[in-house]
Structure 1
């Protein structure tokens, strides 16, 4: 049986598309024949051939508006929207270390870019009666780490809830909406963190990885996910092969979350 994803010729926008999972999603969609526009704060040093990159700060309403205008003007809209952008720069120290400014930064990086882009680009999808939206959440919405990721986890929980509500509204109109919640992924940032922890503990990189896995309560699979593994799931979900899936959230965490 052929497993052609039937994505050739589709148009996609991928946020956070130059590093980690976002870059892997860009590569996966391009390999499937999709015309991809990718956003990031700055243009990549080694762009993927055939990808149009837009440098913009999507944590601001102005940055989102500029990207949406460019996509609508040059591509006529998109068939696939993958909101990967996210992350946290909040300080450690628990709830007391997070002032209103830190909370605003976490929400503006992890929730509002998706909300604003959906609002800008969904009308064209609705007019056609077809499209797919994927929001990248996090297992931290289920397993928050109180030392440093309270606001990040809360923002991702809001993104998952928003995604479910949006799916109920637009799925009857032909738009599939899904969310993907990764656990620990071995991205560039994760490698840097493991190396830093390893140096502090006087161990090697593998020892640094074990420190992170222990902090998460263990990963039964015994390793973090690769960005390409998360991207493969997302690429499949955007395809007609997943045409009856909407409103669901998929965990990809090596078994980290201990409940069904």
Structure 2
């Protein structure tokens, strides 16, 4: 037995009352469509118009680009590395008895000293000794020691700065580099290598003292300055001998 349900009539806005057989046609709407607000927010457009700035395309085959490349200085010169000056300073160390140009070492640099220290460490490495950290540390302490001693002796006449002092000590390490290379062919800890090391220590000490006197323009207490240089290079020779 079927049960009947009372369905209320559908009321339309026009006031009509269709019968039960009338078909209700509803307007399809999109799902989850929000109700339109009375004051909608205006849409802001972010469109960017075409740029009016135009850049010229590079012309690699033009003569202007070639001229600009030719006028540029070399890379080493831009980095402050003057190979000709480094070579001149290095060759001035090789003769301990000839007085070089006094103005040659006024322009201090660290490119040549760093190269000498690296070569010294590499020869020590070939001998089975890893002394890179010790070499850099001893050079720093030696430069501070010589800087303080020289300026205390010179007093008001002392014009030697620490940067120039490091540069001079580094360039005068060249005899120590030669000694480190010769030690590869000599027995370690013997009398022969000790005698050869003494000769190279005197060589480095003499050159360093001469350059310090020339650069600082101060010739008093030269023996005390030479003694300080002798202690510094004797310390480096111990790395080679032992």
Q: TM-score, normalised by structure 2?
A: 0.26
Q: Of Structure 1 and Structure 2, which has the larger fraction of its residues in strand?
A: 1
Q: Of Structure 1 and Structure 2, which has the larger fraction of its residues in helix?
A: 2
> Which structure: larger Rg?
2
